Structure 1
Amino acid sequence: MVHIRFEGRSYDVSESQLGLTANMNDNIIKQRLAQHFDVQLNRFESYVIDRRPSGDLIVRPEAVYG
């Protein structure tokens, strides 16, 4: 499962819906997300991809503190 936080909303999407496999790097995942949401790739430029021990992915904006 891929949990995505994009533009203030949360989405849960299966890897197969995005065409993802376990060995894909962050850049390819961001490309697939941009295609899925029909937006430019640069919209995901500052996003972080957390890989959970369960195999799930969490895609979120980079946290800025202070």
Structure 2
Amino acid sequence: MDNVILPADLPANWAGGQTVAPNGADVGLPEQYGYNYLMEAVNAAHRTINDLVGAGLTTNPIQVYYNPAGGEM
């Protein structure tokens, strides 16, 4: 299993009027605002989870939770 670094650098500060584009630079924003960058990050996360399950590191299904900063679970 390869080491996969998930950068966790996707923007969470979108504002009204910003345009979704394949690449963030297409609309004058940083690369992380591009749709293609987002999908690459999502696919990397999915591959990593699948690799962990496939490596037998757990006998139970993996559950992934999202807890935003200051959020309640």
Task: Confirm or deny a common fold (TM above 0.5).
Answer: no
The answer to which structure has the higher helix fraction is 2
The answer to which structure has the higher strand fraction is 1
TM (norm. structure 1) is 0.27
- Rg comparison, structure with higher value: 2
TM (norm. structure 2) is 0.25
Q: Which has the higher contact order (CA 8 A, sep 6+)?
A: 1
